[in-house]
Structure 1
Amino acid sequence: MLRLTSPTMVLVLAALTALGPLATDMYLPAMPAMAESLGTGPDQVQLTLSLYMAGFALAQLVCGPVSDRYGRKPVLIAGVSLFLFASLLCALAPSIEVLLVGRFLQAFGGAAGPVLGRAAVRDIHGPLEAGRILSYMASTMALAPALAPLVGAGLLLFFGWQSVFVLLALYSGAMLLVMALAMPEPLATEQRQSVRPRVILANFRMLLTQRSFLGYTLVNATGFSGLFAYLSGSSFVLIEFMGLSPLQYGIGFSLIVGGFFIGSLTSGRYGHRLGRDRLILIASLMCALAGTAMAVLALAGAYAAWAVIGPQVLFLFGFGILMPQSMAGALAPNPHCAGSASSLFGFLQMTTAALVGAVVGQLHDGTSRTMAIAIGLAGLLALVSYWRVVRPLAPVRSRSLRASTSRHDVKVRNSG
């Protein structure tokens, strides 16, 4: 069995959290080919992405509270098993309707990885250290989406789009073996919660009235919407409209994820030195500037790959800083219901992103304008969310966070 605090355990949690990005990013280069193969239009294929996010959002409301009662490990095993089955269903889908069902089930199972990975980090490492660990997890996890479009493009070229889902099934099967044979349970017995609906709803109601939780969640959800707008529209903009090959698209996507990778490393390195709130302010400013630049270029008729990929690299650099810090900020005050907090956080994040993705798909005009405007608005809303909701609470939050960290450190020493 792995030690809970070992670097290998962090890698396992990062690999589980990567289920979500892999299931979205690996098939992006294949979306135009899928539309042709299944005899449907771009709007229906883009719906597989939005429906995935909708299923992902709904599943999080279930798996987090259930894991607060029965532990993280059994819920993870159940979720990844469903992900494996659904991936095979997608690979064998004869029509867009079956593919949509498979994607929804894939999302419902895959949600367990990111939700319970975040909750497990909070279980093990406490409120302040969780931000640093999540940052390094994010940088490790960034390797998956950086390589995923390249792998997807290669699979599409040699084996067809169905092979993408076969590989996802193999990945989830490997994760099942690791969890069953080597992963310990991170949630202590004394921290277990009831699964009675009254208790779950009370936790959700408490979180929704907690300004700190809502503020950090809103900052993250608006920033993530900018990323998801790119995921939803970029293959049609760059491949169909601008003429990039699937391989060139994959290379461009890797550059963008490189921005996220560097941003998440920056977040981990400077989290203690600069503080969570200062990092989020800097990061949201970057997202706002990058998104606005892309929108202005598109409205000015600069229809070139550099006018999309360049600003998105900066946007993802900012989001790489913002994402782990806002996650840790939302979970920090809620150790007694970390699973429920992670669930609600993810639900709000994914629901917002799914709505943005659906709008981008429906309003796509054949150019980069719709996608670029959506990304620009997302960056500006992330900055406004921090400035208007999170920033006024900084002094009170610092005092309570130090007290919470001291209690967690005492508990860790006593348990050791």
Structure 2
Amino acid sequence: MPAPSLAAPPIAAPAVSPDLAVVVLALLLSIQPVTTDLYLPALPALTRSLGAPVAQAQLTLSALLLAFGVSQLAWGPLSDRLGRRPVLLLGLGLYTLASIGSALAPSMDWLVIWRTLQGAAMGAVVVCARAIVRDLYAPLAGARAMSRALTGLGIVACLSPPTGALLSGWLGWRAALLALTVFSMAALALVALRLPETLARRNLRALEPATLLRTWMHVLRNPTFWAFSLLTTASYGGLFTFLASSSFVFIEVLHLSRTQYSLALFFSAFSYFGGTFACRAILTRHGLRCTVAVAGALSLGGALAMLLLAWAGVRHPIALLLPFYCFMVAHGMHQPCGQSGCVGPFPHAAGAASALNGLMMMLAAFAVGGWVGAHLDGTIWPLVHGVIFWATLVAAVAWTLVQKFGEPLEHR
């Protein structure tokens, strides 16, 4: 079936240098780990300061991610209709406003509200960034460009936890949330001053209900979309299990300081950073299927090592962290392949495909957040059980669906 979203007359081809494209993509995609990781070292202190239960504190993360996922269903088609640049400017403006509101929140209820708005605004930024990859690159080149951008994301993710720990320890948890405002203002300035419109042909009918429905059905009937989307969803589910539970497990159960915990997150992000380099190397030499298969083995191997050490009664932080770092190397390989691959078949509906992919990941994250909030019991087991579940799923997808439906990107 041909792509249902027939487009408007083309505009001038975007003139974006490769280096600028990678810098902009890295900054835009980094908004997600900055938003989640920078405040994690402050989460226990934030919970005590606002006098809220742990389950409600988890909503500051899970509600943010649910809004992030659901909002992409609107932002994706809107960016296909209006272009990436206006949607990016609107999203970054709303994100800045929500960041200020979060830092000034007088109660946990208000913090959850502001974080929900922040998540919805973040959806505009990330869905446009993923769609820009399809605007500027053919699918295989897009996977390589995405891996370069995600290397930049890895650097930002490495710096976020130590920065959050320093700010919250020095100035309090509100300073950690206020730092998000500085980040968003920098991204807003870069987009406003340097990024031209990248969408070469706007779809004037993208927002019509009938067109939306046909586009979504066209995307959802494509097995390649499902193969790559399930891959990214399962990999992100394992990461979010760690993010949602780790501050309580490592600080409250294993008695790490906030600084030590931030270093643990730093090396987790550094492992992801290394995975993006491995992704490029294996993609170039062995192709997509081999890259994803190797990453699937790393995901499952790391999770199994964590489970075996936990069964053996080892309760040292290293016994959780080193296996999880192996999982994160694989995450740095799965995400560039998956995020580029899921939009590859849809050059005229990249925004919609990216939105559906993002929704799947964030629905999984929301479910994980609720599950973790209900199962944190003063032990390491919620973290261990969650990671092994998602690692098993990601390996199964990598070794079956991607091998069958993840066509070599060169041939699309």
Which bin holds the TM-score, normalised by the shorter protein?
over 0.9
Match of 2:195 among 183, 196, 200: 183
In 2, Cα distance between the equivalents of 1:195 and 1:268?
A: 36
Q: Name the structure 2 match of 1:369.
A: 381
Q: Answer yes or no: is 1:7 the counterpart of 2:57.
A: no
Count of aligned residue pairs for this structure pair: 399
- Measured after TM superposition, the shift of residue 187 of structure 1 is 0.3
> What residue identity is the alignment partner of 2:108?
I
- Measured after TM superposition, the shift of residue 193 of structure 1 is 5.1
Question: What is the root-mean-square deviation of aligned Cα atoms in Å?
Answer: 1.4
In 2, Cα distance between the equivalents of 1:304 and 1:189?
A: 55
Q: Answer yes or no: is 1:204 the counterpart of 2:204.
A: no
**Aligned 1:383-394 pairs, distance under 5 A:** 383-394=395-406
Q: Name the structure 2 match of 1:101.
A: 113
SS at match of 1:195: coil
> What residue identity is the alignment partner of 1:150?
P
Match of 1:217 among 220, 229, 236: 229
Cα pair 1:155 1:163 within 8 Å, conserved: yes
Q: Name the structure 1 match of 2:298.
A: 286
Match of 2:63 among 40, 47, 51: 51
Cα pair 1:71 1:192 within 8 Å, conserved: no
Q: Name the structure 2 match of 1:27.
A: 39
Cα pair 2:102 2:177 within 8 Å, conserved: yes
The superposition leaves residues 46-75 of structure 1 with CA deviations (integer Å, 9 ceiling, x where unpaired) of: 121111110110111111110001000000
In 2, Cα distance between the equivalents of 1:301 and 1:192?
A: 60
Q: Answer yes or no: is 1:111 the counterpart of 2:123.
A: yes
Cα pair 2:25 2:129 within 8 Å, conserved: yes
In 1, Cα distance between the equivalents of 2:99 and 2:400?
A: 41
> What residue identity is the alignment partner of 1:299?
W
Q: Answer yes or no: is 1:244 the counterpart of 2:284.
A: no
In 1, Cα distance between the equivalents of 2:232 and 2:385?
A: 18
The superposition leaves residues 142-179 of structure 1 with CA deviations (integer Å, 9 ceiling, x where unpaired) of: 11111101000000111100011211112111221221
SS at match of 1:199: helix
Q: Answer yes or no: is 1:350 the counterpart of 2:362.
A: yes
Residue 252 and residue 223 in structure 1: after superposition, are their counterparts in 2 closer, same or farther (change >3 A)?
same
In 2, Cα distance between the equivalents of 1:256 and 1:334?
A: 33
Deviates more, 1:371-380 or 1:190-199: 190-199
> What residue identity is the alignment partner of 1:258?
F
In 2, Cα distance between the equivalents of 1:360 and 1:48?
A: 13
Gaps of 5+ in 1: 405-416
Match of 2:336 among 324, 342, 348: 324
In 2, Cα distance between the equivalents of 1:239 and 1:130?
A: 39
The superposition leaves residues 271-326 of structure 1 with CA deviations (integer Å, 9 ceiling, x where unpaired) of: 12211111001101111111122123223332211011111110000111111011
- Measured after TM superposition, the shift of residue 118 of structure 1 is 1.1
In 2, Cα distance between the equivalents of 1:261 and 1:183?
A: 25
Q: Name the structure 1 match of 2:157.
A: 145
Q: Name the structure 1 match of 2:171.
A: 159
- Measured after TM superposition, the shift of residue 270 of structure 1 is 2.5
**Aligned 1:17-96 pairs, distance under 5 A:** 17-96=29-108
Q: Name the structure 2 match of 1:414.
A: none
Cα pair 1:292 1:377 within 8 Å, conserved: no
In 1, Cα distance between the equivalents of 2:202 and 2:83?
A: 11
> What residue identity is the alignment partner of 1:344?
L
Deviates more, 1:307-316 or 1:174-183: 174-183
**Aligned 1:264-343 pairs, distance under 5 A:** 264-343=276-355
TM-score, length-scaled by structure 2 = 0.94
Residue 284 and residue 122 in structure 1: after superposition, are their counterparts in 2 closer, same or farther (change >3 A)?
same
- Measured after TM superposition, the shift of residue 191 of structure 1 is 5.8
Q: Answer yes or no: is 1:259 the counterpart of 2:271.
A: yes
SS at match of 2:348: helix
> What residue identity is the alignment partner of 1:294?
M
Cα pair 1:18 1:113 within 8 Å, conserved: no
Cα pair 1:79 1:109 within 8 Å, conserved: yes
The superposition leaves residues 75-118 of structure 1 with CA deviations (integer Å, 9 ceiling, x where unpaired) of: 01111111111111111111110000011000000112221111
**Aligned 1:123-134 pairs, distance under 5 A:** 123-134=135-146
- Measured after TM superposition, the shift of residue 5 of structure 1 is 3.1
Q: Name the structure 2 match of 1:381.
A: 393
The superposition leaves residues 4-52 of structure 1 with CA deviations (integer Å, 9 ceiling, x where unpaired) of: 1330221012101111110000000001001110001222111211111
In 2, Cα distance between the equivalents of 1:163 and 1:244?
A: 21
TM-score, length-scaled by structure 1 = 0.93
Structure that is richer in helix per residue: 1
> What residue identity is the alignment partner of 1:72?
R
The superposition leaves residues 179-204 of structure 1 with CA deviations (integer Å, 9 ceiling, x where unpaired) of: 11211001013566521121112111
**Identity within the alignment, %:** 34
Residue 163 and residue 4 in structure 1: after superposition, are their counterparts in 2 closer, same or farther (change >3 A)?
same
In 2, Cα distance between the equivalents of 1:12 and 1:6?
A: 10
> What residue identity is the alignment partner of 1:48?
T
In 1, Cα distance between the equivalents of 2:242 and 2:358?
A: 19
In 2, Cα distance between the equivalents of 1:282 and 1:114?
A: 27
In 2, Cα distance between the equivalents of 1:207 and 1:178?
A: 32
Cα pair 2:293 2:398 within 8 Å, conserved: yes
